[in-house]
């Protein structure tokens, strides 16, 4: 039995413990040691996640590199891990982004300057001694829990880590917020952190009831287990049957928790607060890493365990998705705060992802999976460059900027690339995934696909207007002192820009990994791609080959 998946999960967890246990950061040297240790552990995790993706065979079994360790035997709970193509890709995305976040946040957790006399900051407080170790340890803890969520094949284990990741995220938002927040920044950070926690805890409690209900029903039919492969196999072959009402209730219990985390309109309102008040690195963790667990779980659990309910609720979910696409884009256009604009843009993008999932077509689900990856990369680049800009000027307000491209051309250029990727410019990674989602949706729900297309137009408005207002025109007061990107910051942005371009012209390696899992998911819900209205030549293919070809044609 391979232990590669366990090692990939254990390394960042061990890194969190080691980083937190390092001597208190009373000097710059000790703080640098903690930062370097965290970066090394994240790099090892990246290597292991890359090895998992390389060893995964798209032509093999759906779940590979499986491991199982008995945990709570009396309830049939095992610490079971296994990876499919979708989980491998999203775990790799997480492993890529965490070192980038750590490097981008290198000074975000340094102790604040002491307050002027007569109230200096006490040297022995947590603020001045454990702050750096705490921040970097919490980031690694989030990474470990997210990767376990992508690899878990036991429903109970998934639930535990799905909820546990809220704890480090709460402290990252509330304890290490954006220093450009103004005089009431601490209060706003606390509000955002509590709102994040309450929303997601509510979703988790509803899901817990559904998890218990699933176990009770399965136990009554001789399946006293939480093993996902056993349960989905039993659903497929009829050994596990739900009444119509029970299946719908269980589906809604799982879906509600995932929709909160995704976030899907109207359960989205925690996200702008959390991203706005957190540091740029933490905001990337929220939208590019943690939120992806919600959309991933919709594919793995909602569709796999409750296929009939998934088809029943798909039209309603598509309506909510389209509302989220348009609503998020419209509110992004009207924002005065740079980080909140990026947050509302992400709400719009998650609408596209969820729409692709519940279109129940191979193109839509392949596009949705690619969208999870591409959105993570492009939004990370956009948000981190925005964070560099905000740290220089000390303000999140769009109105405080203007003419940045004249004093910091590299910063402005990378900010433009992030914005163009966000509006899905052809040749950049998000275009491929958005195109597949729209094509896959249109083939089954043409009206939904047409309305969602207006989200592209609105994305061009908010992305280009933000660039115009902040980067062009005369140099505003206070902007002249902004410096261009430094070597460390270029090391953060360069790989994200490279991946955005590479996956925009050659997405085939990712589509090859995810298409088998997409086809398996569609077979679980007994769906096939709709026949084209105008028949095409037989050798054009459909299903997995069609989705892969669609991804490859946009190289």
pLDDT digits (tens, 9 = 90+) for 66-91: 998 988 888 888 999 999 999 999 99
- pLDDT score recorded for residue 481: 86
69, β-bridge pairs: 79
- pLDDT score recorded for residue 203: 93
**Residues lower than pLDDT 70 in the chain:** 1, 24-26, 112-130, 179-183, 533-555
- pLDDT score recorded for residue 123: 41
Q: Residue 190, exposed/middle/buried by CB under 10 A (0-12, 13-18, 19+)?
A: middle
**Pick from 384, 382, 345, 376: which is nearest to 146 by CA?**
376
Helices of type H across 176-305: 185-220, 228-237, 244-261, 270-277, 280-284, 291-297, 303-305
Helices of type H across 334-445: 338-358, 362-393, 404-407, 409-422, 429-444
Q: Which residues of 395-415 are buried (b: 16+ CB within 10 A; e: fewer)?
A: bbebebbbbbbbbbeebbbbb
Q: Give the CA distances from residue 415 to residues 28, 184, 405, 434, 514, in Å, rounded to whole numbers and listed in that order.
A: 31, 28, 10, 21, 30
Indicate the average pLDDT of the chain. Answer: 87
Cβ–Cβ under 8 Å, residues 257 and 203: yes
- pLDDT score recorded for residue 25: 59
72, β-bridge pairs: 77
Omega cis (within 30) before 118: yes
For 253-298, how does the pLDDT look when each residue is reduced to its tens digit (9 = 90+)? 999 999 999 889 998 899 998 998 888 999 999 999 999 999 999 9
- pLDDT score recorded for residue 122: 43
Alpha carbons 335 and 211: distance in angstroms, whole number: 39
For residue 546, what are the contacts with CB-CB under 8 A and spacing of at least 6? 362, 363, 529, 540
- pLDDT score recorded for residue 462: 93
Tokens of 553: 């044609």
Place of tokens 């640098």: 32
For residue 329, what are the contacts with CB-CB under 8 A and spacing of at least 6? 344, 345, 348, 455, 458, 459, 461, 462
For the chain, the distance separating the N- and C-terminal CA atoms, rounded to the nearest angstrom, is 38
Tokens of 412: 């402005």
Tokens of 99: 């070192």
Q: Give the CA distances from residue 509 to residues 292, 515, 532, 548, in Å, rounded to whole numbers and listed in that order.
A: 20, 10, 27, 10
């Amino acid at each position: 039995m391979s232990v590669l998946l366990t090692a990939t999960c254990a390394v960042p967890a061990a890194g969190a413990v080691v980083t937190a246990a390092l001597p208190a950061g009373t000097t710059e040297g000790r703080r640098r040691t903690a930062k370097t240790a965290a970066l090394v552990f994240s790099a090892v995790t990246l290597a292991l996640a890359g090895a998992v993706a390389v060893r995964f065979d798209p032509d093999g079994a759906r779940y590979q590199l499986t491991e199982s360790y008995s945990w709570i035997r009396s309830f049939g709970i095992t610490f079971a891990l296994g990876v499919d193509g979708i989980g491998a890709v999203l775990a790799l995305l997480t492993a890529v982004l965490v070192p980038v976040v750590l490097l981008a946040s290198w000074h975000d957790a340094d102790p604040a300057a002491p307050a002027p006399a007569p109230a200096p900051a006490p040297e022995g407080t947590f603020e001045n001694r454990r702050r750096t170790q705490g921040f970097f340890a919490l980031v690694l803890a989030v990474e470990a829990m997210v990767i376990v969520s992508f690899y878990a094949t036991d429903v109970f284990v998934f639930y535990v880590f799905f909820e546990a990741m809220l704890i480090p995220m709460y402290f990252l938002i509330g304890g290490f917020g954006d220093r450009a927040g103004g005089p009431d920044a601490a209060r706003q950070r606390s509000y955002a952190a509590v709102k994040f926690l309450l929303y997601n805890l509510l979703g988790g409690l509803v899901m817990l009831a559904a998890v218990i209900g699933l176990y009770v029903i399965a136990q009554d039919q001789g399946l006293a287990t939480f093993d996902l492969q056993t349960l989905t196999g039993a659903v497929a072959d009829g050994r596990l049957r739900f009444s119509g009402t029970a299946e719908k209730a269980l589906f809604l219990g799982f879906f509600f928790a995932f929709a909160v985390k995704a976030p899907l309109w109207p359960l989205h309102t925690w996200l702008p607060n959390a991203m706005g008040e957190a540091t740029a690195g933490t905001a990337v963790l929220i939208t590019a890493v943690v939120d992806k667990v919600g959309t991933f779980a919709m594919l793995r659990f909602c569709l796999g365990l409750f296929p009939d309910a998934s088809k029943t609720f798909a039209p309603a979910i598509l309506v909510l998705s389209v509302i989220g696409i348009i609503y998020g884009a419209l509110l992004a256009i009207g924002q005065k705060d740079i980080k909140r604009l990026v947050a509302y843009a992400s709400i719009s993008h998650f609408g596209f992802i969820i729409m692709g999932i519940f279109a129940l077509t191979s193109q839509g689900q392949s596009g949705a999976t690619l969208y999870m990856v591409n959105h993570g990369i492009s939004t990370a680049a956009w948000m981190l460059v925005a964070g560099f800009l905000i740290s220089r000027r000390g303000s999140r307000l769009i109105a405080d900027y203007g003419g940045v491209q004249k004093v910091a051309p590299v910063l402005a250029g990378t900010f433009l690339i992030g914005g163009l990727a966000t509006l899905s410019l052809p040749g950049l990674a998000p275009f491929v995934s958005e195109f597949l989602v729209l094509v896959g949706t249109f083939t089954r729900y043409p009206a939904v696909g047409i309305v969602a297309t207006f989200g592209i137009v609105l994305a061009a408005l908010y992305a280009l207007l933000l660039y115009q207002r902040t980067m062009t025109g005369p140099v505003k007061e206070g902007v002249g002192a902004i410096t261009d990107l430094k070597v460390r910051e270029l090391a953060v942005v360069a790989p994200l820009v490279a991946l955005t371009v590479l996956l925009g012209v050659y997405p085939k390696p990712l589509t090859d990994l995810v298409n088998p899992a997409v086809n398996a998911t569609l077979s679980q819900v007994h769906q096939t791609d709709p026949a084209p209205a105008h028949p095409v030549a037989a050798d054009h293919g459909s299903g997995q080959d069609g989705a892969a070809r669609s991804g490859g044609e946009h190289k």
